[in-house]
Amino acid sequence: MTEKKALKTESGLSLYHPLVSFGYFVAVIAGTLLFIHPYFVLISLGCALLSAAMINGKKMFLASLGFGIPMFIFIALANPLFNHRGATILFYLFDNPVTKEAIIYGIVSAGMMFAAVIWFTCYNTVVTSDKFIYIFGRVLPSVALIISMTLSLIPRLMAQIKVIADTQRSIGLDWKSGSLMHRIRAGARILSILVSWALEDAVITADSMRARGYGQHKRSTFSIFRFGKRDGIMLSIIVLLFAAEVAAYITGAGTMEFYPAIVAPKTEFIDILFYIAYAALGIIPAAIQMKEELKWKQLK
């Protein structure tokens, strides 16, 4: 695990207010998880891949594919093995029937998970931890402050772990070599030193907080984010498209029958409208990014 590399320059959806970007991902990921339906999954996956390619940077995009594609294959294969429902039996594996319906369902649900994972990589680029804490802080300010402090500690502790490991090695205790048990023991020892160190520092942190008036008064919550007109417009669009999603789910346009036998997805006018609305939601990050890049080209 390495720390995710944030995009160097902020652009596109990142420049909107956290409520907008966070709301966007709630809408799009909810939609992704809601519809086990080949067209919706296809739209979601397509948009997710397009967005990820545009906003995550090449290296991270390829890394997410490296994780996503094997997962896709795994789920697509696992489903027919766990599930034996469906009318069309293709063959038997270890005395269990493998059905056409289960295979197709597996591919669709694998596509859904693949899309969800890719959307989350986009989320990680756009909704950085401070934005999340901002959203969280509006609901649970005290818990948000704890998270914020935990987050500031993690990189500090990672650096200290390295220092401790190096020092311990130089007095003859190397956690990178030797038997597994030796390595575990040496690692536990490094963590022990880390915990003393960190708790000792925590006493100072508490002092520093009290010195700056924490704890006695009613706290206000400050943020550097400002909600502008363009945020309002974008948020309205997202809410509207999300409403369409909900409507699609309620009317049944977003569900499809796989068992006992597959019923082909509907393609009536209203269904096509739902597909378009969903695609419109999915394309937002890529569209904003595209628009911005065109602007820059013109300016050159």
Partner 1 sequence: MEAVKVTDFSFDYAIGNETALHDINFTVNEGEFIVVCGPSGCGKSTLLKSIKPQLKPFGTTRGKIEFYGEDVYSLPDEKTAGEIGFVMQNPDAQIVTDKVWHELAFGLENLGVETPIIRSRVAEMANYFGIHNWFRKKTAELSGGQKQLLNLASVMLMQPKLIILDEPSSQLDPIAAREFLENVRKINLELGTTIIITEHNLEEVYGYADKVLLMEKGRIKKYLPPQEMAQYLAENEHEGMYKALPTPARMYGSVLKGECPLSIVEGRTWFGQLVDEKQPESPVLAEHERPSEKVIDINEVWFQYEKGADPVLRDLSFSVRKGEICSVLGGNGAGKTTMLSVVSQKRKYNLGSIKISGKELSKYKGTELFEHNMAVLPQNSQSLFVFETLRRDLEEIFAEKKISKAEIEEKVLAVARRMEIDSLLDRHPYDLSGGEMQKAALAKILLLEPKLLLLDEPTKGMDALSKENMGRILQELAKSGATILMVTHDIEFCAKYSDHCMLFFDGYIVSEGSPKKFFSENSFYTTAASRMTRHLVRNIITCEEGEQLCRSLL
Partner 2 sequence: MATGAKNYGLISMIMVILAMVPFLMLYEMKKPQAREWIPLAVMAAIAAVGRAAFAFVPHFKPTSAIIVITAMVFGPEAGFLTGAISALASNLFFGQGPWTPWQMFAWGLIGFLAGLLSKHGLLKKKRQLVLFGIACGYIYGWILNIWSGAGFVYGLSWQSYISLCITSLIPDGIHAAATVIFLLLLSDSWGAKLRRVKQKFGILAS
Interface residues with partner 1 (CB under 8 A) are 129-130, 133, 145, 148-149, 151-152, 155-156, 159-160, 163-164, 166-174, 177, 189, 192-193, 196-197, 200-202, 204-205, 207-224
Q: How far is the CB of 144 from partner 2 (least distance, A)?
A: 9
Q: Does 33 bind partner 2 (CB under 8 A)?
A: yes
- Single out the residue of 278, 217, 285 nearest to residue 243, CA to CA: 278
Q: Does 279 bind partner 2 (CB under 8 A)?
A: no
Contact letters (x/-) for partner 2, 205-244, by CB under 8 A? xxx-xx---xx-----------------------------
Q: Where are the alpha helices (DSSP H) in the chain?
A: 18-34, 38-55, 58-82, 100-126, 129-139, 141-170, 180-211, 229-251, 269-299
Token output for 194: 């880390």
Residue 251: which of partner 2, partner 1, none does it interact with, CB under 5 to 8 A by kind?
none
As a whole number of angstroms, the distance between CA 276 and CA 45 comes to 14
Handedness of CA 20, 22, 26, 28 (dihedral sign): positive
Contact letters (x/-) for partner 2, 121-140, by CB under 8 A? x-xx----x--x-------x
Contact letters (x/-) for partner 2, 255-274, by CB under 8 A? xxxxx---------------
Provide the b/e sequence for 80-110 (b: ≥16 CB within 10 Å): beebeebeeeeeeeeeebbbbbbbbbbbbbb
Q: How far is the CB of 8 from partner 2 (least distance, A)?
A: 17
